[in-house]
Amino acid sequence: MIKILLINLGCKISIFKLLIKNNYFIYEFNKNNNISIILKINGVFISNGPGNPLNYKKKFYLILFFMFIKIPILSICLGYQIISILNKYNFYKLKNGHHGVNHPIINKNNKKLIINSQNHNFNIKKKKKKNYNNSFYSLFDNTLQNINSLIQPLIGFQNHPEGCSGPNDFINIFNYYNKIYE
């Protein structure tokens, strides 16, 4: 069984359900965790949550540590914004946040359209960077919707793939760790 450390920034119960459905054992990070937990985990999941990503600076060093030792990291929404900032992307406050369901996203690599739900007021500035394949963009305002490192196991998406009831086009990202450890 693949063991995941969940850095919970305010996720919903549906995140837990989807991780369990994909056969992951979940450790939830908290201040009482023993350092030996690092020896037990196969991946890190950074959840969604409310607010400005800079309000979570206390978690930055922890996440940087996991990036440094190259533990696979999957992140959504606020977690995506945090890993993007840690990878030297700039962020900004949207004039009108992205809220609700039926947000069209295009994967520019394969031209596939994906419908998802979103709930955020901040976004990452588009920037071509070496060693990243960021191919998902909003069809509403062409904002960047993902980060995908080519040199370490790190991927993040701006949307809420667990959105229930709502679109489930992105639900397969919860299979990320299974694909790595097959």
For the annotated catalytic residues, the residue numbers are: 77, 160, 162
Please tell me the chain's helix, strand, coil percentages from 3-state DSSP, rounded to the nearest 5. Answer: 25, 35, 40
Query: Could you identify the residue written with the tokens 């991946």?
Result: 43
The number of beta carbons lying within 10 Å of the beta carbon of residue 68 is 9
Q: Are 153 and 70 in contact (CB under 8 A)?
A: yes
Quickly list H helices, the chain: 13-21, 37-40, 57-68, 78-86, 176-180
Which pair of structure tokens corresponds to residue 146? 């993902």
Q: Are 46 and 33 in contact (CB under 8 A)?
A: no
Tell me which residue of 142, 140, 137 sits closest to 110, measured CA to CA: 137
Strand pairing class (112-124; 24-28): unpaired
Q: Spell out the residues 6+ positions from residue 54 whose beta carbon is closer than 8 angstroms to its own.
A: 85
